[in-house]
Amino acid sequence: MLKMLKNKPLETQRVYQERTAHYLSYLPLPKTILEYPIIQDTVLGIFEFAPTEGRPFWTHLTSGMSETAQMTSSGNSVFIEIIFYSVENSTWVDRFLTNLASYPFENKECFSPRDTLPMERSLYEGSKLTSLLLLEPLLENPEISPMFIQHKQVDILWALPITEMERQFMITNGNEVADQWINKCVTLNNLPKLLDFNRDSLL
């Protein structure tokens, strides 16, 4: 149980416990669970899973972003958590995820698959990755998302850093062409390049 939840209502604590149980049904025990406050005094947990033989990268998964609904243009409620992969586990990842988890609420936007998001600055100093592509969690068991917590559907989206050239490609080409590029990139052979945040465009 996250320490910051101890003063929250029991119902809120149970929701976090259910999400944790769901995560651990598909992922190994996390190496670390960090916690940060975000919008409306919400507790954001960040589960950090260390690399394994079959997963040569760090996996970071939020828990708490879905406590607040994102609203679509048609007025529907959407609940989202974020998964993020990195070759190294650096402190900037936690800052990045807390900012990303707050973004849709602070900017009154709604995250959905195939969305692209320009960032104010590069991922970190020296990186050419200045945008994000939101995808389904393609590297995970398909049953990990959506999850149903207290009769609420919660979708997990993969936040993938990309170059501005790649973002423009996603915007200007149709879904079929964009999906072909995504499927080409998201393979075991290409993952080391895709998750190298010092990389150039893969186009």
**Mean pLDDT across 117-144:** 92
Cα-flanking dihedrals φ and ψ of residue 42, to 5°? Answer: -80, 140
In contact, 22 and 146? CB cutoff 8 Å: no
Q: Is 141 among the domain residues?
A: yes
Q: Answer whether residue 85 shows pLDDT above 70.
A: yes
Which stretches does DSSP call E strand in the chain? 32-38, 42-49, 58-63, 70-71, 77-78, 80-86, 116-118, 131-135, 147-149, 152-162
Domain that holds residue 81: 3-194
What is the tens place of the pLDDT at every residue in 20-58?
999 999 999 999 999 999 998 999 999 999 999 888 899
Strand partners, 153: 148
Residue 188 forms part of a structural domain: yes
Domain-located, residue 199: no
Give domain status of residue 175, yes or no.
Answer: yes
Domain count, the chain: 1
User: Whole-prediction pTM value?
Assistant: 0.94
In a domain, 25, yes or no: yes
Calpha distance 68→98 (Å, rounded): 14
Tens-place pLDDT, residues 176-188: 888 898 888 888 7
Q: What is the pLDDT of residue 1?
A: 62
Asked if the structure places residue 202 within a domain, the reply is no
Q: Residue 200: inside a domain, yes or no?
A: no
Share of the chain above pLDDT 70, in %: 100
Q: What is the pLDDT of residue 174?
A: 79
